[in-house]
Amino acid sequence: LELKRLSVSREHRGRGLARALCREVLGFARARGYGTVVLSTSMVQVVAQRLYEAQGFRRVGTSYPSLLGTLLNFQIFHYRCDLGDGT
């Protein structure tokens, strides 16, 4: 399962909503038999990286979004969370 564009509006940040949404996605994936959840985030999204890592995601790779991104050394980080078989 791929998690795309998790976002909480500024006025609602700091309340644990992103953490709760992330847990909900992982629970949804487990309940439906997915073995892995993957996502990507940019190098500047440090708070998001911490959130994902705290939820069990591990960084599995990096890429550049474009030639300009390569020239500017702007990286996209790829994450993976292995869910196991639920036992």
Instruction: State the total domains in the chain.
Output: 1
Give domain status of residue 55, yes or no. yes
Question: What does DSSP assign to residue 49?
Answer: H
What is the span of the domain harbouring residue 20? 10-82
- CATH number, position 77: 3.40.630.30
Q: What does the block give as tokens for 25?
A: 């996605």
Order of strands across the sheet that contains 36-42: 36-42, 76-82, 58-63
Asked if 39 and 56 count as a contact pair (C-beta separation under 8 A), the reply is: no
Q: What is the mean pLDDT of residues 33-38?
A: 97
Place of tokens 């500017």: 72
Q: What is the mean pLDDT of residues 63-70?
A: 91
Give domain status of residue 2, yes or no. no
Rounded to two decimals, the pTM is 0.88
Give domain status of residue 87, yes or no. no
Summarised one tens digit per residue, pLDDT across range 43-52 is 999 999 999 9
- Asked if pLDDT for residue 86 goes beyond 90, the answer is no
Asked if 35 and 86 count as a contact pair (C-beta separation under 8 A), the reply is: no
